[in-house]
Amino acid sequence: MKRSVKPPRVWQRMLSGRRLDLAHPSPMDIEIEDIAHGLARVARWNGQTRGEHAFSVAEHSVVVERFVRKLEPSLGAAEWMTALLHDSPEYVIGDMISPFKALLGESYKGVEARLQEAVHIRFGIRATTPAALKKIIKRADNICAWYEAVQLAGFTQAEATGFFGEPPEGWRVKLTPLPPTEAQALFLKRFTEIQAVMAAQESAR
């Protein structure tokens, strides 16, 4: 007699009590508190950075959102929210370094895209980021990565420029890795601020 094979578990239980199905993520199982908690405890650069604390994806996300506003001041709150949440799937799947993502290929990208779409729907922004906005966010992401590489990860400026391009002339940025609880609070504070502006803009229409 053949034994039935139990299917693998593909959901994760969150501190909120939600069970997030990674194969088919539902927007109803996504909570911003879970995202903030997770991202504040995920280290950029696999933790290979200077300082007492890792530079978290939560803190990185806040910096990238600020850079997006600086690069394109005409954007609205929905675009700010898209920038803040650009790495949100990493609260579940972690911040894999680019070389490992390349090895995993399309299977990783598919999971990441489904999670990103569910997050966007949950918080009232476009499910798929428009190409023009994605380009701005990517530029801001690379600028932040440049500063992280030079200030925290031991790269020379020339090395960082080779990987991420040169940051805008005249920008002065100082990155200070925060303890997880502070990074979590910073991320939630910015999310709440943007959400309030989104609500105000929606009611004004």
| Assigned domain for 19 exists | no
| Assigned domain for 22 exists | no
pLDDT in tens, the chain (205 residues): 566 677 777 788 989 999 998 888 999 999 999 999 999 999 999 999 999 999 999 999 999 999 999 999 999 999 999 999 999 999 998 876 666 666 666 577 888 899 999 999 999 999 999 999 999 999 999 999 999 999 999 999 999 999 999 999 999 999 999 999 999 999 999 999 999 999 998 888 7
As for how many domains the chain has, the answer is 1
Q: What CA–CA distance (Å, rounded) separates 180 from 43?
A: 10
Q: Specify the pTM.
A: 0.91
Q: What CA–CA distance (Å, rounded) separates 53 from 101?
A: 24
Stretch (H or E) spanning 12? strand 11-13
| Assigned domain for 11 exists | no
| Assigned domain for 141 exists | yes
| Assigned domain for 197 exists | yes
Q: What CA–CA distance (Å, rounded) separates 117 from 125?
A: 9
| Assigned domain for 49 exists | yes
pLDDT of the residue at 67: 98
pLDDT of the residue at 31: 97
| Assigned domain for 77 exists | yes
| Assigned domain for 194 exists | yes
pLDDT of the residue at 201: 85
Please provide the DSSP assignment of 95-107 as one string. ---HHHHHHHTHH
Which domain, by its residues, includes 39?
32-203
For position 67, which CATH number holds? 1.10.3210.10
Could you give the C-alpha distances from 120 to 1, 51, 52, in angstroms and in order? Answer: 47, 33, 33
pLDDT of the residue at 99: 64
SS (H, E, C) 18-72: CEEECCCCCHHHCCHHHHHHHHCCCEHHHHCCCCCCCCEHHHHHHHHHHHHHHHC
